[in-house]
Amino acid sequence: MNISVKLPSSFSSLATPVKYAALLTPITLTSFLLAPASGLASASGPDLQSSLQDSPKAVLDEAWQIVHQEYVDNSFNQTNWQQTRQQLLGQEYSSRESAYDALRRALNQLNDPYTRFLSPAEYSDLTDQTSGEVSDIGIYLQKDPTTGDVFISEVLAGSPAEQSNLQAGDKLVLVDGQSTTQLTIQGVSQKLRGDEGSQVTLTISRNGGQPRSVVVTRARLEVATVEFLQNTYRGRSIGYIRLLEFNAHAAEQMEEAIISLQDQGVEGFVLDLRGNPGGLLLASIDISRMWLQHGPIVRTLDREGDDDSISANRTALTDLPMTVLVDGRSASSSEILTGALQDNDRATVVGSATFGKALVQSLHGLADGSGLTVTVAHYYTPNGTDISKKGITPDVEIDLSARERRDLFNNPDLLGTESDSQYLRAVEVLTQTIASEICSTTPTC
């Protein structure tokens, strides 16, 4: 079963040219999985490798070798990376956790928040997130702030929950015997997830009735990362698309949104990237190509000074006018897409300055199920701009107050409506562009 679902509010969010399968979020990584570098055997030696077998040190050495081979700064922030290896392998560790802590301290020497170690649970969560799929039962939850009771707010069509006759309004009393009142919404959501085909036992109460138990079998669900609708503004039909993150299904969902809205006769698009922390670089390239017929998209530069330029390939789905909405939480892949559209004069960017993450990471799975993200390249917008730590400045700047931002993003149904001042400014700019283009082809305008 593969059902497309909206992204639950409790699902926490986190880019690749042909060369890199990189993740680009404010604290992210890459889906470029490599085995330990065989070319570094001389740094290890067969005797040492044998002594490391079944020891926490094996994972430390595996991680060290990946950083040694790939890290973007071959001075390793002016540290003696060979000495770091000796220190890591020269210690004794009472547990895997103590070894993990030592690795984290070693990576901290690089002064790079994006090169980091992931515990097995963190690595599993991240790979699930970037895959755009979760193994779940397909419900949304809400918690009564007074009583602590947890209720089902929505049941996804076709999901295991619907097949088990769960309904919106049902009170979720227990999950596998544990009271939901003792857990946060995130905690309950985590317990509902598990391996595909595994089962979870829920105790529910409907309309105040006696609690009853229901056994639900988890299935693989596709997370909906694109939301879209047709709006009307001053007589113009406007397509509004919100992209939540750049996961493995983002491009196909974006294609569906563009085609559907064009079939509804929209005259232009507002693409909302506010709050989008990034994700897979490849997704940002694919989506850029849906909007750009030609022109450069991004250029990456690795530690050897080799650059890789990615361009549009004449596969655009639309040439209708567009504006792009961004804010300080639009990062990484969001900035690649925004920079490509802005530098190629394809869109007017509206909102506030973006996050400013101009680095590409690769994500590696380690032998014990943990993971490592490593910064492997720097990227630049088509005009050669380095946006690191300063972000992209919108063409039309409009900020939200702290209260406006809180009200909007705590109530996402308000986004893309008259209650959203940034959206109203974006759609105003868009309608002006539409009118201008009409006038340019109509002599009597």
Catalytic residues: 332, 343, 357
Amino acid (one-letter) located at 280:
L
The crossing angle, in degrees rounded to 10, of helices 81-90 and 96-108 is 160
User: Between β-strands 139-143 and 133-136, what pairing exists: parallel, antiparallel or unpaired?
Assistant: unpaired
In whole angstroms, give the CA distance from residue 149 to residue 42: 59
* CA distance readout (Å), 128 to 75, 233, 282, 327, 407: 33, 38, 17, 26, 29
In whole angstroms, give the CA distance from residue 273 to residue 288: 13
**Tokens 């969001």 belong to which residue?**
334
Write out the H or E segment, with its range, that includes residue 86. helix 81-90
In whole angstroms, give the CA distance from residue 119 to residue 162: 34
Write out the H or E segment, with its range, that includes residue 262. helix 250-263
3-state secondary structure of 178: strand
Q: Give the Cβ contact number of residue 181 at 10 Å.
A: 15
In sequence order, the 6+-apart residues with CB closer than 8 A to the CB of 231 are 237, 238, 239, 240, 416, 427
Q: Find, among 285, 389, 275, 293, the residue nearest to 336 by Cα.
A: 285
In whole angstroms, give the CA distance from residue 93 to residue 332: 36
Q: Where are the beta strands (DSSP E) in 176-260?
A: 178-179, 199-205, 212-217, 219-224, 226-233, 236-243
**Tokens 């103590």 belong to which residue?**
98
3-state secondary structure of 401: coil
